[in-house]
Amino acid sequence: MAISERNRAIFEGAGFDAIKLEVAFAGTRFNLAVPGVANQAKEWLVETEANMQQERQAALDLDRRRYNVMRVWTMIAAIAVASHRIGYLVAGRAWGFLPLSPS
């Protein structure tokens, strides 16, 4: 059953939570007692919830991707710092700044 443009505008104006409450408690605020309007409201709720789920999944995917990128950059930075420190130690021993043996 297709949702009429008038009812779609009413539902979108009221919001997801308000329509969900009206459907759950058979409210009369949005003329849900009129035959067909309650079914259109339920159908709109299903469509809207599916869209919200897709948006939520897209946001989670983006968040996961950002986390993985930051994790890779952190590993690269750790490797760079370690190699820089090793370079200082090797250069210091080669030029005589650091003793070769602990004694």
Q: Indicate the burial class of 68 (C-beta count within 10 angstroms; 0-12, 13-18, 19 or more).
A: exposed
Q: Is residue 31 part of a domain?
A: yes
What pLDDT score does 56 carry? 96
Q: Is residue 81 part of a domain?
A: no
What pTM was computed for the model? 0.60
Distance CA 47, CA 17 (A): 14
What pLDDT score does 69 carry? 97
What pLDDT score does 3 carry? 85
Q: Is residue 57 part of a domain?
A: yes
Distance CA 13, CA 5 (A): 12
Return the percentage of the chain with pLDDT > 70, whole number: 81
What does pLDDT average to over the chain?
84
Q: Is residue 25 part of a domain?
A: yes
Q: Is residue 78 part of a domain?
A: no
Q: Is residue 62 part of a domain?
A: yes
Work out the average pLDDT over 71-98: 83
User: Domain of 11?
Assistant: 5-71
What pLDDT score does 90 carry? 76
Q: Is residue 23 part of a domain?
A: yes
- Is the dihedral angle over the CA atoms 32, 38, 43, 46 positive or is it negative? positive
Q: Is residue 76 part of a domain?
A: no
What's the number of domains the chain is made of?
A: 1
Q: What is the pLDDT of residues 14-48, one digit of tens each?
A: 888 888 888 877 766 766 767 788 888 889 999 99
Which of the pair, 31 or 64, is modelled with greater confidence? 64
What pLDDT score does 57 carry? 97
